[in-house]
Amino acid sequence: MATLLLNRIDVPLRSYDLELSLELCSTLALVGPSGAGKTTVLRAVAGLLRPRAGRIAVDEDIWFDGGNGVNLPPEERRVGLVFQEYALFPHMTVRRNVEYARKHRADDYLERFGIAHLARAHPAELSGGEKQRVALARALARDPQVLLLDEPLSALDAHTKTTVRAELHDLLAELDIPVLLVTHDFEDAAALADHVSVIVDGRLRQSGTPAELVARPADSFVASFTGANLLHGYAEPTGNGSARVRLADGTVLSTADAAHGEVVLAVYPWDVTLAATHPDDSALNVIRAPIRSIAELGNRVRLTVGSITAEITTESRARLRLEPGQLVYASFKATGTRVVAEHQPREAEEREGRASATR
Amino acid sequence: MRRRLFAVAYVAAAVVALAFLLIPIVAIFAHSSPRHLVEQLSNPVVTDAAKVTIKTSVVAQLLILLFGTPAAFLLASRRFPGHSLAITLVELPLVLPPAVAGIGLLAAFGHFGLLGSSLEWLGITLPFTQTAVTLAVAYVASPLYIRQAIAAFESTDPNLAAASRTLGASPARTFFRVILPLARGGLIAGLALSFARGVGEFGATIMFAGSLQAVTQTFSLAIYAEFSRNFDATLAMSGVLVLFSIVLLAGLHIGLTWQRSSSTGSTSLFGLTTSS
């Protein structure tokens, strides 16, 4: 399989510069909050935007090299880009949209994506999921070396999203070209990609498999992004390599990680157990609080208890007869907590950098 | 009671306004018998004026399309130093009194004008020729097309142009296959406005081209010239222009409806942006 290489790409954004190096040969999801510069990366790879410096190459083919002025126009890069709102040509039928990328054998692509029956329809007549299939067929009809997907699921409603996500997952698994997708949703990233890179304020914060990011989040931002509860407190070592953390409300929690001073504890919702009575186990961290909200997500239920979120099965909820307002005991093991570094926003970092430079 | 009075008052005002707009149109056709008017259409003054009007208008609109479309696309898709100055320049002929435009054209292309001697050296004489009519029409009418075309290009989704490029299309193919079809409605609407303005042109033409029958005398000029001599001929020509205006108005509405149904967003040149 080919390898897409982004070497020290530098693009000025509104409030900071995007600086990024990436290498991918399978499916990589670039995740981050809106405005982090994710779409900018895709546009730079596609040739729709010229970085200030850096190098973009697929194997031996150099698409952009700021050093010697190489900058291929988009039509000379074999790249498939699926836009967030799909960007189907509204004045052409589905077949013409696909034929735009490839004169011959367009029907093969219509068949492969199950849209042959829509060949004569115009984009305005299609559902969100159908539009996405047309956009994918059109992008792949170009026979690209790299596939780029911009927020592939964000234009869909919650109902179709699950189905389309499964379809997209199967399709990406069949492809033998590098796929770079961007999303602001970690769950989508984890479902679709082998590797996830978290990008914040124009910088790569952490890369790894979805499981690695959840197991060892680099800082409080990544932890929170991957779905963890963040608990701020003051840690005192207990002597055996673990620590006790006192929260602002006086609750004392134990963690298996070594820590000292101001810390952030990350606790994932699926590591939290709920009970109507105080659990007997003294090794557990326990927080007693009323249920603030309950949200059903398929066969899981998300409950907010005091300041933390717990995720349990619908069966557990039914068994415990949990209702909003009810006082419950939320408990989690010391090994279920991770001490993470406090995320420093870029501006604060730069302020400190300047301050230490003038000192 | 008061409410009743208000309703009566505003309906009455509307009736007066609409009647005021309609009565002169009806009067043109009501003044003489239709047969008499049709007979006037074979009057040489009328046929000559028709030929001059059609020829100069068509050539002027073709020139406007040929030069105005690229100009509008450039102004819609690129931001460069002097951009707003260029927009102002495009809009200037709209507010300029036509007589002033005529004097300006004369001062530029006349015998003793700015470019007059260079044109004379090339053996070209412009004032009081049919070419002068075409230039006067193009000068006063082009802003209407260009402004509408800028708006049409700006309302095409820049992502569609970007998508076209990533699908392997050159900037030219992108323009002709994606941008132009999507802006089509707005361009047609602009052309209808420009055509109407051009056919009605009077002030700049009479200054720069004069009113010579069969050479520079268009319908508008002939209506004025025949006014005291043959009133029926002016009515016949006016009737023709009324029908022509109705056709143009229909074209304008069709164009605007197309434009609304086919595009959103704003454009950048072929979907490309630079980071500098």
Taking only the tens place, the pLDDT of each residue in A136-158 is 999 999 999 999 999 998 888 87
Is the Cβ–Cβ distance between B193 and B144 less than 8 Å? yes
Q: Is the pLDDT of residue A359 over 50?
A: no
Entry field: residues in chain B: 276
Is the Cβ–Cβ distance between A227 and A186 less than 8 Å? yes
pLDDT score, position B275: 37
pLDDT score, position A357: 42
CA B64 to CA B137: how far, in whole Å?
10
Residues of A within 8 A of B269 (CB-CB) are none
Q: Which of residues 237-296 of A touch B (CB under 8 A)?
A: none
Q: Is the pLDDT of residue A281 over 80?
A: no
Phi, psi dihedral angles at A173 (to 5 degrees)? -65, -30
Contact with chain B for residue A41, Cβ under 8 A: no
Q: Which of residues 96-155 of A touch B (CB under 8 A)?
A: 100-101, 138-139, 142
Residues B124, B126, B127, B130: is their CA dihedral positive or negative? positive
Q: Is the pLDDT of residue A46 over 90?
A: yes
Contact with chain B for residue A11, Cβ under 8 A: yes
Contact with chain A for residue B264, Cβ under 8 A: no
Tokens representing A193 are 């990609």
Name the residue facing A79 among B164, B166, B169 (closest C-beta): B166
Q: Note the pLDDT tens digit of each residue in A185-231.
A: 898 999 999 999 998 888 888 999 999 998 888 888 899 888 899 99
Residues of A within 8 A of B276 (CB-CB) are 50, 52
Nearest-Cα residue of chain B relative to residue A102: B167
Q: How confident is the model at residue A284 (pLDDT cuts 50, 70, 90)?
A: confident
Yes or no, beta carbons of A49 and B167 under 8 Å apart: no
CA A137 to CA A132: how far, in whole Å?
8
Residues of B within 8 A of A49 (CB-CB) are 272-275
pLDDT score, position A215: 87
Element (H, E) at B85: helix B83-95
Contact with chain A for residue B160, Cβ under 8 A: yes
Q: How far A110 CA sits from the closest chain B CA (Å)?
A: 16
Is the Cβ–Cβ distance between A123 and A89 less than 8 Å? yes
Residues of A within 8 A of B271 (CB-CB) are 48, 74
Q: How many helices (H) and strands (E) does chain A have?
A: 10, 22
Tokens representing B173 are 């193919």
Nearest-Cα residue of chain A relative to residue B275: A50
Which residue reads 């007549």 in tokens?
A125
Helix (H, G, I), strand (E, B) or coil at A173: helix
Q: Is the pLDDT of residue A356 over 60?
A: no
Q: How far A315 CA sits from the closest chain B CA (Å)?
A: 47
Name the residue facing B168 among A12, A51, A142 (closest C-beta): A142
pLDDT score, position A240: 81
Contact with chain B for residue A79, Cβ under 8 A: yes
Nearest-Cα residue of chain A relative to residue B170: A75
Yes or no, beta carbons of A89 and B271 under 8 Å apart: no
pLDDT score, position A347: 56
Yes or no, beta carbons of A100 and B169 under 8 Å apart: yes
CA A144 to CA A80: how far, in whole Å?
5
User: In the 8-state DSSP scheme, what is residue A69?
Assistant: T
Phi, psi dihedral angles at B100 (to 5 degrees)? -65, -40
The segments of chain B whose pLDDT lies below 50 read 263-276
User: In the 8-state DSSP scheme, what is residue A342?
Assistant: P
pLDDT score, position B274: 38
User: Average pLDDT for residues A306-321, to the nearest whole number?
Assistant: 88
Q: Which of residues 217-246 of B touch A (CB under 8 A)?
A: none
Yes or no, beta carbons of A90 and B170 under 8 Å apart: no
Sheet arrangement for strand A146-150? A79-82, A146-150, A179-183, A27-31, A195-200, A203-208
Nearest-Cα residue of chain A relative to residue B160: A87
Q: How large is the ipTM?
A: 0.82
Helix (H, G, I), strand (E, B) or coil at B139: helix
User: In the 8-state DSSP scheme, what is residue B115?
Assistant: T
Residue B224, CB half-sphere, CA atoms under 13 Å: how many?
A: 14
Of the candidates A145, A117, A144, A150, which has an alpha carbon nearest to the alpha carbon of residue A132?
Answer: A150
Nearest-Cα residue of chain A relative to residue B269: A48
Is the Cβ–Cβ distance between B76 and B70 less than 8 Å? no
Q: Note the pLDDT tens digit of each residue in A319-348.
A: 888 888 889 999 999 888 888 888 776 655
Yes or no, beta carbons of A12 and B165 under 8 Å apart: no
pLDDT score, position A93: 94
Yes or no, beta carbons of A47 and B165 under 8 Å apart: yes
CA A141 to CA A303: how far, in whole Å?
45
- Specify burial of residue B21 (Cβ count, 10 A radius: 0-12, 13-18, 19+): exposed
Of the candidates A64, A61, A81, which has an alpha carbon nearest to the alpha carbon of residue A72?
Answer: A64
Q: How many helices (H) and strands (E) does chain B have?
A: 13, 1
pLDDT score, position B270: 47
Residues of A within 8 A of B267 (CB-CB) are none
Most confident of A12-26, A40-54, A164-178, B159-173: B159-173
pLDDT score, position A45: 93
Residues of A within 8 A of B162 (CB-CB) are 43, 46, 48, 74, 81, 83, 87
Over its C-alpha atoms, chain B yields an Rg (Å, rounded) of 23
Element (H, E) at A62: strand A61-65
Is the Cβ–Cβ distance between B118 and B111 less than 8 Å? no
Residues of A within 8 A of B263 (CB-CB) are 90
Instruction: Enumerate the β-bridge partners of residue A305.
Output: A291, A308
The residues, any chain, with a CB within 8 Å of residue B236's CB and separated by 6 or more, are B37, B38, B40, B41, B43, B46
Contact with chain A for residue B165, Cβ under 8 A: yes
Instruction: Enumerate the β-bridge partners of residue A333.
Output: A284
Average pLDDT, chain A: 87
